[in-house]
Amino acid sequence: MSTLPDAAASPFREAVVDLDAVRDNIRTLAATVAPARTMAVVKANAYGHGAVPVARAALAGGADWLGVADIFEALEVRGAGIDAPLLAWLHDPGADFAPAIDRDIDLGVSSFDQLEVIAAAAASVDRVAAVHLKLDTGLSRSGVAPEAWGRAVARAVELERDGRIRVRGVFSHLANTSSDEDARQLEAFERGLEQVASAGLDPEVRHLASTAGALRVPAARFDLVRIGIGAYGIPPFGDGTTAADLGLRPAMTLRGRVAATRRIEAGTGVSYGHTWRAERPTTLALVPLGYADGIPRQASGRAEVWIAGARRPVVGRIAMDQFVVDVGDARVETGDEVVLFGDPETGAPSADDWGDAAGTIGYEIVTRIGARVPRRYVGGE
């Protein structure tokens, strides 16, 4: 028998992922966008939450599709025995598409060349590749440029006729810049769809919106919306809208335990560089999470955490493995719970609060939580 302690049994630090929150968030968003269908985006290990458990919870909440960035992520989902429709849209230049085609993974196509490579890969495994043609409507990242769209669509028609591909979808992605820009992109998408239709293609799903567009631009819902951040209960807007305002619940709670406390005198400097000094006698609590765990160093001296019933300030520099909190005269002991972020309705900071403190967004806060932090799943039975 192993004598090693079980890290999960002693949550020195852990990310608790509430799979019922994922399920309920998807259910809420799917009801909002109906009759459009919902794709749950589980790329980047489900934004740090765990791709396979989140995919299952999202399907339980009524997601019809799953989406990931690359085919490795898609193969992980398929490898877990999940057979829902699944799209991967961002490909390595040398990607081997054959295993993905063989496992019924739909492929986003962002260039004429990709179309050829995918068709050849389909031939090599004697399958028909299901593809979603991507038009760049103004984000200027991936997608076929509008001036090349006609040629790509014409080639797709030929390859579909030859039985190499099936154009199952047409899609694009919004820049979420302004309602004017959204409207311009929507028009560009409509024009692209007209070219697809007049070429004789009849895709099953047309999709443009991610969480922000799905909620605020109803005309962008088309047949399917791609929901990432909303599934995790984090608002996409960055304008102070809370999860509760949207009927959503944050799925991840990042927590740990106070590793030590120390009473200090006025004038005592704290952590590297003494960027903070106590103005009065106070108590410090040491939290055993640092930038190696994804806690942004930029949030040094700006973020807050929940300890002993209140939000309290992080003081001094966040280090690789630890940071310090000023708890004043509160009774705080070694082993007390610390919540870095979770559901703000409980009084804890949100992932967005940490994003504000670090000059970034809630998306990055949850996605960057490191491998040293065990994920513990609740719900989802």
Ligand X SMILES: *Cc1c(COP(=O)(O)O)cnc(C)c1O
* 37 binds ligand X per the rule CB under 6 A: no
Considering the complex, state which of residue 26 and residue 156 has its C-beta at the smaller distance from ligand X. 26
Cα of first residue to Cα of last residue in the chain, in angstroms, is 29
Tell me, what DSSP letter sits at residue 224?
Answer: E
Tell me, what DSSP letter sits at residue 135?
Answer: B
* 226 binds ligand X per the rule CB under 6 A: yes
Considering the complex, state which of residue 89 and residue 189 has its C-beta at the smaller distance from ligand X. 89
Q: Which residues from 80-119 bind ligand X, rule CB under 6 A? A: 89
We find the least distance from the C-beta atom of residue 102 to ligand X, in angstroms, to be 24
Helices marked H in the chain? 19-33, 43-47, 51-60, 71-79, 98-102, 112-124, 146-161, 179-198, 211-216, 351-358, 362-367
Contact between 308 and 330 (Cβ < 8 Å)? yes
134 is catalytic: no
We find the least distance from the C-beta atom of residue 95 to ligand X, in angstroms, to be 17
Catalytic residue (one of 47, 232, 272, 377): 272
Considering the complex, state which of residue 135 and residue 229 has its C-beta at the smaller distance from ligand X. 229
- One residue of 61, 138, 228, 256 binding ligand X per CB under 6 A: 228
Burial of 178 (0-12, 13-18, 19+ CB in 10 A): exposed
We find the least distance from the C-beta atom of residue 173 to ligand X, in angstroms, to be 4
Q: What are phi and psi of 58, to 5 degrees?
A: -65, -40
Task: Give the range of 28-36, 79-87, 222-230, 261-269 binding ligand X by CB under 6 A.
Answer: 222-230
We find the least distance from the C-beta atom of residue 360 to ligand X, in angstroms, to be 14
Length of the chain: 381
Contact between 128 and 163 (Cβ < 8 Å)? yes
Q: Count the neighbouring beta carbons within 10 Å of the beta carbon of residue 275.
A: 13
Q: Count the neighbouring beta carbons within 10 Å of the beta carbon of residue 273.
A: 10
- One residue of 211, 253, 282, 322 binding ligand X per CB under 6 A: 211
* 365 binds ligand X per the rule CB under 6 A: no
We find the least distance from the C-beta atom of residue 142 to ligand X, in angstroms, to be 8
CA dist 235 and 153 (Å) reads 35
Pairing of strands 86-88, 310-315: unpaired
377 is catalytic: no
* 210 binds ligand X per the rule CB under 6 A: yes
Considering the complex, state which of residue 102 and residue 181 has its C-beta at the smaller distance from ligand X. 181
The footprint of ligand X on this chain (CB under 6 A) covers a number of residues equal to 13
Task: Give the range of 119-127, 220-228, 248-256, 291-299 binding ligand X by CB under 6 A.
Answer: 220-228
* 236 binds ligand X per the rule CB under 6 A: yes
* 229 binds ligand X per the rule CB under 6 A: yes
- One residue of 59, 227, 287, 307 binding ligand X per CB under 6 A: 227
* 41 binds ligand X per the rule CB under 6 A: yes
Q: How far is CA 25 from the centre of its chain?
A: 13
Residue by residue, DSSP assigns 255-300 as: EEE--EEEEE-TT-EESGGG-EE-SS-EEEEEES--GGGT--GGGT
We find the least distance from the C-beta atom of residue 207 to ligand X, in angstroms, to be 8
Q: Which residues from 170-189 bind ligand X, rule CB under 6 A? A: 173
The 318-347 site mask, x for binding ligand X (CB under 6 A), equals ------------------------------
We find the least distance from the C-beta atom of residue 316 to ligand X, in angstroms, to be 33
Task: Give the range of 92-100, 226-234, 259-267, 303-311 binding ligand X by CB under 6 A.
Answer: 226-234
What element of type H or E holds 14? strand 13-18
Torsion of Cα atoms, 293 then 297 then 298 then 300, to 10°? 120
Catalytic residues: 43, 272
Q: Which residues bind ligand X (CB under 6 A)?
A: 41, 43, 89, 173, 210-212, 226-230, 236
